Amino acid sequence: MFGMRSSAVPLRKAIELALSKGEEVSVNFTGVEVTPCFADELLGTLILREGPEIMQRLILKGCSEQTRGIVKFVAADRA
């Protein structure tokens, strides 16, 4: 489980770098559960900085129903 906001920061920075280079970014959540805090730091911060359309540039794979719900909540909250 990824829970702490601080543990999402290095991952978010890697995503930001790849996006800035025009690369396709795939985030694989297979076998991993996340907390709302982690998802907010990972994805919510990107949405706040780049706008909700940033989610169109990300491929989210392997999300459990719980993780999918958290991601949807964060995206809606930050849009």
What is the tens place of the pLDDT at every residue in 12-58?
A: 999 999 999 999 899 999 999 999 999 999 999 999 999 999 999 99
The model carries a pTM of: 0.89
Residue 79 has pLDDT above 90, yes or no: no
User: Count of residues for the chain?
Assistant: 79
Q: Would you state the pLDDT for residue 3?
A: 76
User: How many domains, in total, are found in the chain?
Assistant: 1
CB 47 within 8 A of CB 54: yes
* Tokens (6 digits) for 29: 């959540």
CB 18 within 8 A of CB 25: yes
Q: Identify the residue whose tokens are 């995503």.
A: 15
Q: Identify the residue whose tokens are 């290095």.
A: 10
Expressed as residue numbers, the domain containing 39 is 5-78
- Interatomic CA distance for residues 34 and 23, integer angstroms: 24
Q: Would you state the pLDDT for residue 1?
A: 63
Across 5-16, average pLDDT: 95
